[in-house]
Structure 1
Amino acid sequence: MPIQLVKTLVFLAVIVCGCNNPVDKEDTLLKIGAYRLSVADYTLARNGVQYKNLDDEQLQDRLVEEGRILAYALEHRFDTIDLLKKQLLYAMRYYASSVDGYVWDKKVKPLLQAISDERSKALAPEKYIREGQQRVLQATKPLLHEAAIARMAAVVVERERKWPGIDPDLLLMEYQFDGAHRRYTAADFMEFVQCQPVFIGSLANPEDIKKMLHSWLIGICLYAEGQQLGMEKDPAYLQVRQRYQYGIFIQHFKQQHIYPRIAIDKYAAANIRQSLFSRQEKALLSELDSAYPVEINRFNDIQ
């Protein structure tokens, strides 16, 4: 049965973002090392799904805790870690190509806003999604190597996301992109599984793998389309990008420094939020307190 595999990054996408450029100190609610939290960032967090069940005091405690992690991440240059850079690229491809993502907001939403009838509007998104997918597949002309895909599905240890005995150079797909003929190998697919924020289906099902390959093509094409629309100079996009990046930093810190020190099944560690786990996690995070003291805390100013 197909299952939905959702990484923690999706939930961290609503994480508060801070800006490290020089700004008016009156706009800074929290500063820890190189990390700062602005009034706008706090408002964003207050309205975010991740924090909706927290009262003001709990939210502020959480933001201080995360601020210390981000101060550590900035000091230790998490932005230079290759894996995290790849995860961010995959996250932004996902954002650019999603419904309500960047390209959708710029090209499709204005068309939908012009439709007054709700039923017609509901049908129109399905039409735009289908046409967009078809346009990408026509442009990229993917040639899927069925036998290689079937082999990947047959040998996968799905829980561990490993493919014993598979040659990383095994060719899964050929396609056209940016005026060139390109090859997509088993190593590329393993990277996709490791870095893609969300994918749907079973790694043991060849048909699901084919859908994942198609979704990857859609991601790279719509990301390129977003770049052509000026996405990388758009302040709103840059704010979303930093939210994703900081979410990745926080998750990476916990995976490296917190989860291995907690006596719990490693497959559950990324998602579990039982009270015992939370207490252990909080105790370990307190080790950052002395190394990263709070320099500015103006939360009382917004009460």
Structure 2
Amino acid sequence: MKLRCAVLDDYQGVAEGLADWTRIAGRVETRFLHEKLDPDAVAEAVGDCDILIAMRERTPFPATLFARLPQLRLLITSGMRNASVDVAAATRHGVTVCGTASNSEPPAELAWALILGLARQIIPEHNALRANGPWQQSLGADLHGSRLGLLGLGKTGRQMARVGLAFGMDVTAWSSNLDPAVAAGLGVKAAASKEELLETSDFVSVHLVLGDRTRGLIGEPELRRMRPTAYLVNTSRAAIVDQQALLRALRDGWIAGAGADVYETEPLPADDPLRTAPNFLGLPHLGYVTRRNYEGYFREAVENIEAYLAGAPMRVLG
């Protein structure tokens, strides 16, 4: 009898064509789910599965869910870190959790798309052109000669810094554990404090991991410290920025605008006020959504299943 596998949250319907699933077809029956499941419906929809493949944090796996999936033996997540999977609970329930490689370049590229879109008012100008509206209605913000403030100088932050320097920007960075020597080696100034970075930057981009030290890191006091001509971009995790404070900042003009690719509830509810907030450029969590990333995710998911079936699990998280 074949094992049952489900690929969750395949929103674009591309997973089946991006890997060679025939490699496991003799022993595993795989189905692809294209709609987001309500948390209460996950166990009912895939309770018969021995293997599940999760896309990033689209479907959380808390301890309570593992208790409702007694058949599950292997959970594969894209990427080698997934804060929405309770790995300890998985282990207690006899579930092996494996990950895949994930490229850091796509999120940095998308962050620059947001920065450029905000700076040059790309969406309003495009919409005006399509509607035969005003010709040249905005005055763009220059990148060259302005300051890019990076909250976080990890893999993605470093890529952001290199591009900022190529644009001729003055790049500064801050995090609670930033090494000034590392920053200097990249041509980046280490800000003395978070407050200094916010007060002196024209563009602030968030590249931090969500945790106890970073949750709510940017709230009303921090947003009020920013220049009224400055822009904030968040492609990391929504909870790093207080969402209600961000709404007030946009509505009351504390900052010039904001861009985001991450939200506390995803997909973003239809009535979420961010959808209509002024000077807000939002994208539906596309940072990691590129062909190269997806090909790697699903190809390595198949490899992980093969390794598990051979009794030698690979890329195990825990």
Q: Which structure is higher in strand share?
A: 2
Common fold, TM-score beyond 0.5?
A: no
Q: TM-score, normalised by structure 2?
A: 0.27
Q: Which structure is higher in helix share?
A: 1
